[in-house]
Structure 1
Amino acid sequence: MPAQTQGPLIKLLRQADLADYKKLRDGMLAAHPQAFTSDAATELKRDADSYRSRLSGGSDGANLFTLAAWDGPQMVGAISCEHEARVKVRHVAHIVGMMVSNDLHGRGVGRQLLERALALLQGEPVLELVTLSVTSSNERAVRLYERCGFQRYGRLEGAIKLPDGQLVDKDLMCRRLR
């Protein structure tokens, strides 16, 4: 009988993980330009330490946390959650930068990252709502978000303009935390 494999180890991103985070992010940006607002050529020029703002409490608290998924020594996924400090909108969090290595798509890593992020967000008493944007044509990601309770509240047509001039729409989604 084959041994069952456990899912990835999911933990908060630490300073020591920034080089691995950059490697994963650079690869995902290059492979999926339509999925990210950032472009691969610009991000490739950044050094790993420039992602320090993705650590818990980074950028004056704007970044709540980044979770990283690990398969042994390799980072295979990540998700970040941000919020604003302005009084009128501090009850809203934003999921950004969700990514999973291509070879692990469809294996539940994204769902595990998202569920862990939502659990952490629900533990923040001030937070009531979480938002995200997702490439409209990424049906697999849209279904994942819907299964986790997100609802589409709009579409930003032409949200991303690729170097070849192609316009990509983004669905805007939200979920109540309480």
Structure 2
Amino acid sequence: MQAADLADYKALRDAMLLRHEDAFTSDAATEATRPAASYQPRLHASVGGSALFTLVAWQGGRMVAALTCEREPRQKVRHVAHLVGMMVADASQGQGLGRRLLAQALSLLRSEPELELVTLSVSAGNVAALRLYEGAGFTRYGLLPRAIRLPDGRYIDKALMVCPLRKP
């Protein structure tokens, strides 16, 4: 993703947060007030961000999917990366975009010699996402109960997952 894509990224993110409140830790109302430029940290350092990368997919000139990878800045945990903000627009789901973004992300991460692990969290009830991540080599190492509290008082647990990038 490039700086010129931030408005499209925000539009996709806002739509996904609004339609899928149980899938994201951020809430739609708060995020809707953020300017597109506030997502600059999700860009690669070479274009003014702090993330390792944000991969995006386009269809018909519209951004329809995104996945960000962040790296731990602290020396003792610089071997760990984190996938955040995986989203595929509703109309584009079921076409393999998420699987392709995830495969590309893992390939890029494996090309970084210092990285050994990548983690993510996902709503524990999101069976399709859990299958996607498990199929890519992630395993569940924990569960954070009541990780998200929705406005209606319901709670959502988060499955904590890890994927080794190379053999120890």
Q: TM-score, normalised by structure 1?
A: 0.90
For the residue of structure 2 that corresponds to 1:85, the secondary structure is: coil
- In 1, the alpha carbon distance for the partners of 2:123 and 2:76 equals 28
Aligned pairs, number: 165
Question: Which residue among 83, 86, 91 is the counterpart of 1:103?
Answer: 91
Which residue is equivalent to 2:29? 41
Change (3 A) 1:102 1:149: same
Separation in 2 of the partners of 1:62 and 1:76?
23
Partner of 1:69: 57
Alignment RMSD? 1.2
Structure 1 match to 2:165: 177
CA contact 2:42–2:49 (8 Å) conserved in 1: no
SS of residue paired to 2:22: helix
What is the aligned partner in structure 2 of residue 144 from structure 1? 132
For residue 138 of structure 2, what is the amino acid of its counterpart?
F
Deviation, structure 1 residue 72: 2.4
Is the 2:43–2:49 contact (alpha carbons within 8 Å) kept by the matching residues of 1?
no
CA deviation after TM superposition for structure 1 residue 61, in Å: 6.6
Flag the 1:61–1:52 CA change in 2: closer, same or farther, 3 A: closer
Distance between the aligned counterparts of 1:165 and 1:111, measured in 2? 32
- The partner residue of 2:16 within 28, 45, 54 is 28
| Structure 2: gaps (5+ residues) | none
String of CA shifts for 1:26-48, please: whole Å, max 9, x gaps. Answer: 00000001111110000000111
Query: Does the residue aligned with 1:16 lie in a helix, a strand or coil?
Result: helix
Q: What is the aligned partner in structure 2 of residue 121 from structure 1?
A: 109
Partner in structure 1 of residue 154 of structure 2: 166
Q: Report the AA paired with residue 95 of structure 1.
A: L
CA deviations over 1:39-73 (Å, ceiling 9, x no partner): 00000001111111110128x87411100101120
Under a length normalisation based on structure 2, what TM-score does the superposition of the two structures give?
Answer: 0.95
Secondary structure of the 2:141 match is strand
Deviating 4+ runs (over 6 angstroms): none
Contact 1:33 1:162 survives alignment (8 Å): yes
Question: What amino acid does structure 2 have at the position aligned with 1:15?
Answer: A
**Contact 1:79–1:97 (Cα < 8 Å) also in 2:** yes
